[in-house]
């Protein structure tokens, strides 16, 4: 069974640009969550999507947005990039969503560097 796939793995952007990251969950999983990982703050929750609906949203500015498609694939977008947005962005899928057991299956992440 293929795991969670995230693309791109690495990218470099400059301040003010925007970026779109993609996540394909494990086949059959309907929930996709996004986390931002930085050395100082650990893993911070961005949002969760379940069956194309945003179920939960973390404490991030409106520049961070996401969506989920009918095939459960998800994208997140960050507009007007700032230096502080440099981080590893992790996508995680689960069968029924975070309201269940809490078991998440993570991808390898997309490492974003903002110059």
Binding flag, residue 35, other proteins (CB under 8 A): yes
**Do residues 9 and 107 make contact, with C-beta atoms less than 8 angstroms apart?**
no
Bridge-partner residues for 49, per DSSP? 32, 54
- Nearest Cα neighbor of 47 from 87, 98, 100 is 98
Binding flag, residue 109, other proteins (CB under 8 A): yes
Choose which of 13, 22, 43, 67 interacts with other proteins (CB under 8 A): 43
Bridge-partner residues for 114, per DSSP? 13
Between 9 and 63, name the residue whose CB sits nearer to other proteins: 9
Binding flag, residue 53, other proteins (CB under 8 A): no
What tokens were used for 63?
A: 């520049």
Contact residues for other proteins (CB under 8 A)?
Answer: 4, 33, 35, 41-43, 45, 48, 55-56, 58-59, 90, 92, 97-99, 101-109
């Amino acid at each position: 069974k293929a795991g969670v796939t995230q693309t791109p793995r690495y990218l470099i952007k400059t301040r003010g640009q925007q970026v779109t990251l993609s996540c394909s969950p494990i086949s059959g999983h309907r929930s996709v969550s996004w986390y931002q990982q930085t050395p100082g703050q650990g893993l911070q929750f961005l949002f969760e999507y379940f069956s194309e609906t945003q179920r939960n949203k973390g404490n991030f500015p409106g520049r961070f947005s996401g969506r989920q498609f009918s095939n459960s694939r998800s994208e997140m977008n960050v507009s007007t990039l700032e230096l502080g947005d440099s981080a590893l962005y992790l996508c995680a899928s689960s069968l029924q969503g975070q309201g269940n057991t809490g078991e998440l299956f993570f991808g390898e992440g997309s490492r974003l560097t903002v110059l």
